[in-house]
Amino acid sequence: MTKLLTVFGATGQQGGSLIDYVLKNPELSNLYHLRGITRDASKASATSLKERGVQVIQADLSDSQSLVSAVADSYAVFGVTNYWDKGSAAIEIAQGKAIADAALAASVTLLIWSSLPNVSRMTRGALTDVAHFDSKAEVEEYIRNLPILSSFFMAGWYMQNHISYMRPKLQDNGSVVLSQTWSPTALLPMIDITDTGKFVAPILLDPAKYSGKSFTCATFFYTPLELVGVWTKITGKKVTYAQVGADQARGNLTAEMQRKLKKSVGLIDDYSYFGPTGREDLKWTLDQLTDAPNTWESFVNANEPWFS
């Protein structure tokens, strides 16, 4: 008899990718059947999940009562929140804790939380305004003190960011420029977020082994120069990198993202996103995987054409 895995953010990037992986993986699909949680069960992406055999339930992360029924009878829960949805650390913390409380109340065995490092602590107070990291870390700390098996999925920088709001810009002279605040040799841990299931699979297959463990989820630490080098190689169009000041516009960022990310300047250059043990932690994580994650080169190849 299969166990129920409930996935929050079922129509989003992390949750949707996890569901897709479980459905396609024979070992996991023999162990788990799926429930997807979404804010709008009527949208096309939710309907598509239903057609693939996923039970879809509509719930509001800000309505704790709806979460209790959402996770009922679950063996495992994958919890994820979106800071940028409301732009509030307090709201994200409350939502994350509500997921954890609902899982505990429903006697869920395993809770997998989509977390990030506590930047304020990691930088010893040098950076205290990276709210979209610290809020998830606060929820993680809360979960670690609950009587439940728990593991933590910590996603690196989405490769997908560079085909959406941080896309390189085609200039009037025909050149293509990627503009960011990081130095050209800064180390950025990149993940194709469609690989979410590859990183979560070991936890689902052996919850006790990985209880309390954090998975540092990326393929590799790339520099901006390496990113544009791969673009140039694959697209045949020269792509260059420009380091810009924190006040300058970058890609298609919203004003709120621009304001918040301005406060995180120094995180990548000075602390390397995951902190001083990031590369060691990434090596450990990759050693746990059965399926190798996609590289930046394979991602760029798969998402051509990039520039018009």
pLDDT at 265: 65
Which CATH number is correct for 3-156+193-218+275-293, 3.40.50.720, 3.90.76.10, 1.10.1040.10, 3.10.129.10? 3.40.50.720
pLDDT at 268: 85
Q: Rg for the chain (alpha carbons), in Å?
A: 19
pLDDT at 165: 83
Q: What is the rounded CA–CA span in Å between residue 291 and residue 287? A: 10
pLDDT at 174: 85
pLDDT at 254: 60
pLDDT at 158: 97
pLDDT at 259: 58
SS (H, E, C) the chain: CCEEEEEECCCCHHHHHHHHHHHHCHHHHHHEEEEEEECCCCCHHHHHHHHCCCEEEECCCCCHHHHHHHCCCCCEEEECCCHHHHCCHHHHHHHHHHHHHHHHHCCCCEEEEEECCCHHHHCCCCCCCCHHHHHHHHHHHHHHCCCCEEEEEEECEEHHHHHCCCCCEECCCCCEEEEECCCCCCCEEEECHHHHHHHHHHHHHCCCCCCCCEEEECCEEECHHHHHHHHHHHHCCCEEEEECCCCCCCCCCCHHHHHHHHCCCCHHHHHCCCCCCHHHHHHHHHHHCCCCCCCHHHHHHHCCCCCC
Closest CA to 204 of 28, 80, 17, 37: 28
Structure tokens at 249: 């516009």
- For the chain, the structural domain boundaries read 3-156+193-218+275-293
Closest CA to 285 of 189, 213, 231, 205: 213
Q: How does pLDDT run along the chain (308 residues), one tens digit per residue?
A: 899 999 999 999 999 999 999 999 999 999 999 999 999 999 999 999 999 999 999 999 999 888 999 999 999 999 999 999 989 999 999 999 999 999 999 999 999 999 999 999 999 998 888 999 999 999 999 999 999 999 999 999 999 999 988 889 988 888 899 999 999 999 999 999 999 999 999 999 999 999 999 999 999 999 999 999 999 999 999 999 999 986 665 555 565 655 555 555 678 888 889 999 999 999 999 999 999 999 999 999 999 877 75
pLDDT at 255: 58
